[in-house]
Structure 1
Amino acid sequence: MGGIQQNRTIEPLSDTSIIVTFGREINSSIHNEVQAFNHYLDQFPFKGFIEYVSAFTSVTIFYDPIIVRENRGDAEFRSAYEIVHSFVEHGLNQMERDVVQKTREIEIPVCYGGEYGEDLEVVARHNNLTTDAVINIHSKGDYLVYMIGFAPGFPYLGGMSKEIATPRRSNPRTSIPRGSVGIAGEQTGVYSLDTPGGWQIIGRTPLELFRPNDNPPTLLKPGDKIQFKPITLAEYNEYKEKIT
């Protein structure tokens, strides 16, 4: 346990939300603090707490100010924000930053190139590599899910090699099929829904990352470790048949 560190900030985001920022860099240490605070909120939600949304370096807490004030105890002079701020300070002091959470390791099969990875050659040319080298580098990486965002189930991953970093497309596509695996700068991710996007598409997975009828509805969650596995087009079709 430890006190509030200087690189942490607690600020109002709106009349009904407060944001806790743990730092400015995207790294595993800050990610662990974010996860530890999430774990604390799961265990000790306050009266008036609605939900929290975690990001790369921050956690935003949404609350009902009326309920917060109704359960203020003897703190009649304090606003709802001040009460929640006090709760956050206490939580940061009490949380176990070395929370041991069971890490899930998930393998995501990917059919690289061809009709499912039309930008694979673009990534290869940009980095003076062969397409096979791009596939090898991408699939050998150890990836960490930092956050889910942009679309339901879309994972923002850390751990991609700079050897295959490639800028976004200058002209984004109006629709990218769900399951598409892309690269944007030094990041890689998997489209969970059919959406517009400007990432360089290098492959596609037959797995469904967003499953609205399941609980939870997303395949991945922050803290998961991901490994991409190259598969052939025939294997891709076999996966799809099993799923459907």
Structure 2
Amino acid sequence: MKIAVAGENALIIYLSDHLSPEVSDQVQRAVQVLEQALGDLLVDLVPSYASLLLIYDLYKTDYGRLCSQIPALLAEAKGRASERRAKLVELPVYYSEESGPDLRVMASQTGLSISDIVDLHQAREYRVYAIGFAPGFAYLGEVDERIAHPRLATPRPRVRQGSVGIAGRQTAVYPSISPGGWNLIGRCPLLMFDLQADPPMPVEVGDRVRFFAIDRSEFISMGGEL
């Protein structure tokens, strides 16, 4: 465990130097214990793969005091069961060359067929390891190594909302129109971030996600736009 300064009222707690479901569980337990113990000293806690960004109220505490408290609290978190039950979220995807412009290139470079890539992508559950880059952008892992693919050498200036991509062994759904360098294999018609909804995001860090294939007409009937 390591603590580092991340700003005038923020610090980062590094819990490990590798990615795994066990480390992700440890991050979740740390969030619970720190929220309960530090209370109104906190402004926000932002969990990630193997670390935790802690933003604190400068009028109520400081870096030194927190550094003296955190090790004992994290030790307590190790022996505590998670209080939050991770949910399974199922997301529909219209997989096609029309909605996934990188499918054919991925197929030629991996030696797999397009249907193989689609089958492998929807064959397993993914863990939500982090949410970032844009509101609702959930980093999911890990894809089957046979469809792992490096980011594009030149990112697209505009990726459409709902685009489903792969980068390395991660997969994600773009929650809004944005630049992006992930390999696009389909589109999801559901909103990944909606300020009018409660909660505004369908997933949280620690949740599980499974994708399932839908056809073009289903995509459009569920609100998707081509």
Amino acid corresponding to residue 124 of structure 1 in structure 2: A
Amino acid corresponding to residue 53 of structure 2 in structure 1: T
Residues 182-193 of structure 1: pairs in structure 2 closer than 5 A: 182-193=165-176
Structure 2 unaligned residues grouped into runs of 5+: none
In the other structure, the counterpart of 1:119 is 102
Q: Is the 8 A contact 2:97 2:104 kept in 1?
A: no
In the other structure, the counterpart of 1:52 is 45
1:93 aligns with 2:86: no
> Which is higher, the Rg of structure 1 or of structure 2?
1
Aligned length, in residue pairs: 223
| Aligned CA-pair RMSD | 1.5
Amino acid corresponding to residue 198 of structure 1 in structure 2: G
Secondary structure at the aligned position of 2:119 is classed as helix
Residues 126-137 of structure 1: pairs in structure 2 closer than 5 A: 126-137=109-120
1:229 aligns with 2:222: no
1:81 aligns with 2:63: yes
- How far apart in 2 are the matches of 1:174 and 1:54? 28
Q: Is the 8 A contact 2:92 2:188 kept in 1?
A: yes
Change (3 A) 1:90 1:41: same
Structure 1 unaligned residues grouped into runs of 5+: 1-7, 69-79
Amino acid corresponding to residue 68 of structure 2 in structure 1: S
- How far apart in 2 are the matches of 1:117 and 1:17? 39
1:25 aligns with 2:18: yes
Change (3 A) 1:47 1:100: closer
TM score, norm. by length of structure 2: 0.93
Q: Is the 8 A contact 1:175 1:196 kept in 2?
A: yes
Deviates more, 1:142-151 or 1:83-92: 83-92
Render the CA deviation track for 1:145-180: whole Å, top value 9, x for unaligned: 011011100010112101011121222111111110
Amino acid corresponding to residue 73 of structure 2 in structure 1: G
- How far apart in 2 are the matches of 1:106 and 1:17? 32
In the other structure, the counterpart of 2:9 is 16
Quote the offset at 1:66 in angstroms.
2.2
Q: Is the 8 A contact 2:137 2:175 kept in 1?
A: yes
In the other structure, the counterpart of 1:4 is none
In the other structure, the counterpart of 1:67 is 60
In the other structure, the counterpart of 2:142 is 159
Identity %: 33
In the other structure, the counterpart of 2:31 is 38
TM score, norm. by length of structure 1: 0.87
